[in-house]
Amino acid sequence: MSRAFIEGRGAFGCRRVTAQLNREGHACSVGLVADLMRELGLAACQPRAYKRTTMPGEEPVDSPDLIDREFTADAPGQRLVGDVT
């Protein structure tokens, strides 16, 4: 049973392991495989799908310095700046 779990790269749960074992000629039930996997400490881990989050543009974007590096203000709320580093 551990072999079927390892061949599934740790992503096979008790139902898939049971199906694999039944195809190979080892008659077993889902409940039996679930109990054995729990005793052996085998837990399926489904890998997440890769999702690309940053898309490069055609040309670099120029960010102008609108306050000319002058960060002091006379009153609150006149110069709002942020940093994303």
pLDDT (tens digit, 9 = 90+) per residue, 19-35? 989 999 999 999 999 99
Residue 81 has pLDDT above 80, yes or no: no
| Residue of 39, 40, 6 lying closest to 20 (CA atoms) | 6
Compute the distance between CA of residue 12 and CA of residue 23 in angstroms, rounded to an integer. Answer: 15
Instruction: Tell me how far CA of residue 47 lies from CA of 8, 11, 25, 44, in angstroms.
Output: 12, 7, 29, 10
Please state, as a whole number, how many other Cβ atoms lie within 10 Å of the Cβ of residue 18. 23
Mean pLDDT of the chain: 85
pLDDT, residue 32, reads: 92
pLDDT, residue 58, reads: 85
Q: What are the domain boundaries of the chain?
A: 2-40
The alpha carbon of 60 is separated from its chain's Cα centroid by a whole number of angstroms, namely 29
